[in-house]
Amino acid sequence: MNRPTVVVFDVNETLSDLAPLADRFTDVGAPAQLAPLWFTSVLREGLGLAACGDIQTFATIGREVGRVLLAGVALDRDVDAAVDHLLAGFLALPVYPDVTEGVRALRAAGYRLVTLSNGAADVAERLLGRAGLRGEFEHLLSVEDAGVWKPARAPYAYAARVCGTEPADMVMVAVHPWDLHGAARAGLRTAWINRTGAPYPGHVQPPTHTVRVLPELVNLLG
């Protein structure tokens, strides 16, 4: 198998560490455990819309899901202000500790790097800018320009068109098996970052590569 030329990164929870979101929930008087529930609920709603051929922005869904989850919680401010605080925290997340080394190693090895997110491109811009990694990436892509969320085929095909390459010459990197399944169905190779040691679900197509942390990917691709 020939070495791929383009590495495509998911952004939310693949590059960005969502752990600080828990503090945003406790800041407003809500339980910390609502943070992962909020994120998975946003994904569920976005993917549900995609299955119907519809699309809404991550921010729009995130705001509505936040209002639903915080309804009935004894907050220290009104619900709209609380949701604003949560979303502001989402825009200020750090990258995982392994991301900087991994991204720079891949770029030094000659790979073209892009992101493809179900969120807005501006979120990736801020995240990578804060981490000092923006210059390593050729394109920051969003499903908003593809018309439907991943894991539908269209976003992966859109990324290939923007990069001027074939899907088979691209590898999708993500922590979400459903994202990798969609990428594989669209003809991309896939790489799963398994930071938690969890088993890979058997009901989706297995990844081409599995790594514990991002820097391990360079040798596997080469």
CB-count exposure of residue 96 (10 Å: 0-12, 13-18, 19+)? buried
Give 31's pLDDT tier (boundaries 50, 70, 90).
Answer: very high
| CA atoms in the 13 A half-sphere facing the CB of 149 | 22
Q: Judge whether 142 and 55 are in contact, CB under 8 Å.
A: no
State residue 97's pLDDT score.
97
| Claim: this prediction has a pTM higher than 0.85 | yes
How far is residue 27's CA from residue 142's CA, in Å, rounded to a whole number? 30
pLDDT per position as a tens digit, 43-65 = 999 999 999 999 999 999 999 99
Give 66's pLDDT tier (boundaries 50, 70, 90).
Answer: very high
Does the pLDDT value for residue 222 go beyond 90?
Answer: no
State residue 72's pLDDT score.
87
